[in-house]
Structure 1
Amino acid sequence: MQLLYYIFLTGLGFVMVYPLVWLLFASFKSNSEIFGSIHLLPKEYVWDSFRKGWEGSGQYTFGTFFLNTFILVIPTVVFTVASSLLVAYGFARFTFPLKKLFFALMISTLFLPAAVTVIPRFMLFGQFGWLNSYYPFIVPALCGGGPFFIFLLIQFLRGLPKELDESAKMDGGHSFTILIRILLPLSKAALFSAGIFQFIWTWNDFFGQLIYINSIKKFTISLALRMSLDVAASVEWNRVLAMSLAAMIPSVLLYFFAQKYFVEGIATTGLKG
């Protein structure tokens, strides 16, 4: 029985990993071999796909698009985690009028389809003069983060004993001191989980960036990959696949380096409360 279990897990792992392995080897194939052969390994390796893909076909290289993506993602992640923690702290540790109503309204936004808010947000940001900039992503992250992350952090903070707060108050600590010096270090795993989620979602976002960004010099990786399919009459798929593989590297590295905190954060936020 245990042998069947290992065979099943091995087969499942192979199914999950094979697309990535195919992506790697396909980036070294020519167009004719990508579409005309089912073999995993190339018959003839095209060694310059990564170099030419990085150089791009216009005045901007993919280095510019990677830098733009980091400029967009890093503030969004930091502000999302910070603002979500502040809101979660208020819900988890304080009592105020209409608290349950506000919490219900916050949770209800999780069931609101994102497409419903596209036009109102576009019109609002247009009036603010934020179109073709990163403000539509960074400013909302600063003003409350997101209900999903707030809910996760509320669940985690509710699992921390309130005696910690009371002890700090007896020593003269105020609410902000309790949050920064006591709850923040204890919430490291949950904060890492929220940060990883937000990083991956923002890094891989295409639809939102397509709506708000229209200048090539501000394009992110997702938009640049889509643009590479339009600017040339004949698409060199090995270059597109090579840059797609390169675009995955930051998310994969982040997950592996923070895997311990990610797993711990998911476990604690899901079981506590």
Structure 2
Amino acid sequence: MKQTKSDIFFHVFVIGFGLLMIYPIFWTLASSLKPESDIFKNAASLFPSEFKWDNYALGWAGFGDITFGTFFLNSSIVTVLVVIGTLISSTLVAFGFARLHFKFKRVLFVCLLATIMLPHQVTLIPQYIMFHKIGWVNTFYPLVVPAFIGGVPFFIFLMVQFIRGIPRELDEAAIIDGCSTFGIFWNIILPLTKPALATVAIFSFYWTWDDFMTPLIYLNDTKLFTVSLGLRLFSDPSAVTAWGPLFAMSIASLIPTFLIFLFFQKHLVEGVATTGIK
């Protein structure tokens, strides 16, 4: 009986906390269907007085000859390329740290861990100066190319911990069979790290799709804007903010992240749960 009461309390607490966490999403969804005058007039209500589907049409129409579909396309291109680059570079670097022996390995790994704690703002100005000098400002290159070079420190650390949990006897057996170092990586390590790769891909997708600062710094042409910058265009401090279309496109921008989580939740949980377990 005591166990039953504790279970009931736990489930009630979890459900209540979960509803509290997703309330802002419900509020945004309800506001996207409200007339402009009712959004803040009846802010606490989740039920529109009348459903205004025009907000989605107006939001998707975009600005001038640029529809919101252009922003979705730009975000999709950048996000897919960043995910691919992150998977390739981070996995290769992690394999080197986890399996290979070379000079200054420990020092370099400590430096890698130190960069995880380094704020992005510290490297922002030097990177901008470098990309400006080579003519990459107002292109997708500053957003995509860094993912292919050196990897992401957090993901490298995650992959290193996962690879260290794979028995080295598999490597030794592959060497006896005449497998090269890259062959071990491709045929042994890579197939066994699928849960960790899925975790890296999902987090990389989330962080890139939701990124606002990097596109804001490097992109000037509206036709190159990503979804996060496109949403900002609805807000005009010097004029009237189009709250209805803004909330409508905010909900639309959440759909890809929701679908990714829905279909790959199992791989995400498995990758996080098994990382570092030997």
Is the TM-score greater than 0.5? yes
How much does 1:57 deviate? 2.9
Structure 2, unaligned stretches of length 5 or more?
A: 1-5
Q: Deviations over 1:208-232 (max 9, x none)?
A: 1100001001000000100121399
Query: 1:264: how far off?
Result: 0.6
Question: Residue type matched to 1:272 in 2?
Answer: I
User: What corresponds to 2:85 in structure 1?
Assistant: 79
* 1:1-273 aligned within 5 A: 1-37=6-42, 38-230=44-236, 233-269=239-275, 271-272=276-277
**Displacement of 1:235 after TM fit?**
2.2
TM-superposition CA deviations, 1:127-161 (whole Å, max 9, x none): 11110011112111111111000000000000000
How much has 1:63 moved relative to structure 2? 0.6
Give deviations 1:21-67, integer Å, cap 9, x for gaps.
Answer: 11111101112211111211011111211111101132100111100
Contiguous gaps of at least 5 residues in structure 1: none
Structure 1 length-normalised TM: 0.97
TM-score relative to the length of structure 2: 0.95
Contact 2:234 2:245 in 1 (8 A): no
- Aligned-pair CA distance for 1:4: 1.4
SS class of match (2:65): coil
Q: Which moved more, 1:63-72 or 1:29-38?
A: 29-38
Question: What percent of counterpart residues are identical?
Answer: 47
Alignment partners' CA distance in 1, 2:46 and 2:112? 48
SS at 1:258's partner residue? helix
- Secondary structure of the equivalent of 1:51? helix
Using the alignment, how far apart are the partners of 1:236 and 1:113 within structure 2? 34
**Which 4+ runs in 1 deviate beyond 4 A?**
none
**SS of alignment partner, residue 166 of structure 1:** helix
Q: How far did 1:241 drift? A: 0.3
